[in-house]
Structure 1
């Protein structure tokens, strides 16, 4: 059983995905990136919201180029979108070359060895199959060195396959004034100039929402499509996910009593506490909880913002609902953790993490629905 199968009556929470917001976000990013084209990054099960629903919605919204991390993701995506251009970011694993041909997928070649293996495979089958080239400009993660990229450019006649994209990845685009951005831009311009007839791509979500100089021919937004906030100086687009957690029980806590594991939170007054049916096994970070030394995240119940108190457990968390009228909350009701003014960025900030991690971690045990 997966979260897609759990009936509402049996679930501890509801995860709602707004596909119209997803489509609107993609179209807004496309508008801002023009005249550059806009791809859609759908790795990690479309950032956790569900590839099988997200990918067709993005295709209907106009996306034609898609990026995933792994070949297994690309296979699934190809079954959903027979005509899409699909790039696999994590490179060409040994022995997988034939699968790329069978599924009409495009590997993003990130090392000289991968370039050589793809070239040899194309020579063996007598067919030049398109691929992308990833060149590292400062991330030091994946990609050829600039010197290796020069070698590829000088030997293109012997490659035996067409390059359809040359790309790099920004390391600090969420900090517009970081000096590494300008250095990466300068280096990538020089690399792109080596391949004047090949599309060039540098910008992720943060880059796509910033200076058009970073856009080149194709931008590759991910988190922004899903309603996250990739940079602090730009407002997020429309929220895509809403998370509501079921109230399991209501308790009265006396002044001086503690709540949760470790007795980390002490009630400073007689309090009413709602116990919600979700925890870190459901993607709620433990750091979203609170102690006597630091506040935690919030939930909205009956229109009130209520603080989470105590540590997050595997399956449960506690919320102080003292300010909510007793008639306005009952076991079986739902509290909102994402939505009603509470954003991914809010929960991430309280949890000392990023909205990417919040989104991609949500939900194996929720009742999931798409609207």
Structure 2
């Protein structure tokens, strides 16, 4: 019999979050970002669940786009990293994928090939990862003029949209608006999840909600539930041992936590081998028996220890929520010194995904 360690995926919560993204996008359409295996939720199930609602999907790379086609879905798919080889352009044309080109080498592949899919161009307005600089963008567009109508849209990516105290997003928006204004036939896209929660933020024709679809917060200082989002993944396991530690006894590697009084303790069948963060230390919340509890000691590869002082009736076999409805994934991430994105995408393949409506 397998372990009772599972990731329960609530597909109706996913659709709720997508609808909220559409509401907050105003006049923009929302392309659902499903990269990284649907942020760890399973790209097949995620795209099928959103198939009747989302008009477009966005992924990082070609293999993710092909995984959508493998589900029989014919939606437009935007490749946010563009193509990684010239031959990929033919696949994009055949499958209806729309690569986002961001470098001269990709432009050279396009110009040297008779196979030319519809493309987007990325403008580097300050993120400084990918994209053409404002100073070179006009020349790039001029070089593509003979391929009339091939450029569907222009996009950029925000560096600090999660921080409402920063003026960087407005500055980036201004740069992008000035550049895109010269090309009125192109649709425009700037809005990551965080941009949906910024007052008076222009999202133009297409927004790109990602992490918010899965219920985690894209904003500094606000939880997903405070933003109206519902958790999509509930990571659960069970108690496989219960015992009482005497005062002075320690638990786990390095004896990093020692009981100062008799303490009921449980061992949960989950660890960093399942994607639970090793750096989630003593005090990280979990949930069992209708009560919040805390982790104690170090997380091991396959197990972790919890303090059951507030749940004295807990016993072997009781279900433990590591994150989900009662413990936010962002809360766990903060305890581990990371972000909810990393936790959701890091749940490993040995944890079964169980889908429900």
Normalised by the length of structure 1, the TM-score is 0.91
CA offset at residue 181 of structure 1?
A: 1.2
Q: Which residue of 1 aligns with 2:270?
A: 278
Higher share of residues assigned helix:
1
Alignment of 1:123-134 (within 5 A): 124-125=114-115, 128-134=116-122
Partner of 1:210 in structure 2? Answer: 198
1:2-51 CA-partner distances (Å, limit 9, x unpaired): xxxxxxx4124121100001011101110121211111000000000011
Q: Which residue of 1 aligns with 2:215?
A: 227
Alpha-carbon shift at residue 102 of structure 1 (Å): 2.4
Instruction: Work out whether residues 111 and 143 of structure 1, in 8 Å CA contact, stay in contact via their aligned partners in 2.
Output: yes
1:195 corresponds to 2:183: yes
Please point out which of 225, 233, 242 is paired with 2:234.
Answer: 242
Query: Which deviations, in whole Å up to 9, do the C-alpha atoms of 1:116-172 show, x marking residues without a partner?
Result: 211322xx34xx421110111111111111122111233442245511110000000
**Residues in 1 aligned to 2:110 and 2:142: alpha-carbon distance in whole angstroms:** 17
Report the secondary structure of 1:157's partner residue: coil
> Which stretches in structure 2 are left out of the alignment for 5+ residues?
none
What SS does the corresponding residue of 1:314 show, helix, strand or coil?
Answer: coil
Equivalent residue for 2:12, pick from 20, 35, 39: 20
Q: Is the 8 A contact 1:245 1:277 kept in 2?
A: yes
1:152 matched to which residue of 2?
140
Question: In the TM superposition, what are the counterparts of 1:77-116 in structure 2 within 5 Å?
Answer: 77-95=68-86, 96-116=88-108
Residue by residue, what CA displacement relative to the aligned partner does 1:288-320 show, whole Å, maximum 9, x if unpaired?
Answer: 122xxxxx3111111121110000001100001
Paired residues of 2:58 and 2:78 also in contact (CA < 8 A): yes
CA contact (8 A) 2:264 2:312 kept: no
- In the alignment, structure 1 residue 356 sits paired with structure 2 residue 347: no
Cα distance in 2 for partners of 1:64, 1:202 equals 17
- With 186-195 and 37-46 compared, the bigger mean Cα shift is at 186-195
RMSD of aligned Cα (Å): 1.6
How big is the shift at 1:94? 1.9
Q: Aligned partners of 2:22, 2:70: CA distance in 1, in Å?
A: 25
Structure 2 residue aligned with 1:163: 151
Which of 26, 30, 40 is equivalent to 1:38? Answer: 30
Structure 1: distance between partners of 2:305 and 2:142: 62
Measured in 2, the distance between the counterparts of 1:334 and 1:308 equals 15
**Residues 1:72 and 2:63 aligned together:** yes
- State the alpha-carbon separation in 1 of the partners of residues 74 and 301 from structure 2: 42
1:138 aligns with 2:126: yes
Mapped to 2, the partners of 1:91 and 1:184 lie a distance apart of 21
1:258-287 C-alpha deviation (Å, 9 max, x unpaired): 111001001011011100011011111111
Q: How far apart in 1 are the matches of 2:185 and 2:199?
A: 23
Equivalents in 1 of 2:280, 2:228: separation in Å? Answer: 21
Distance 1:312 1:187 in 2: 46
Matches of residues 320-339 of structure 1 in structure 2 within 5 Å? 320-326=307-313, 329-339=314-324
State the Cα distance separating 1:322 from its structure 2 match: 2.1
In the alignment, structure 1 residue 53 sits paired with structure 2 residue 45: yes
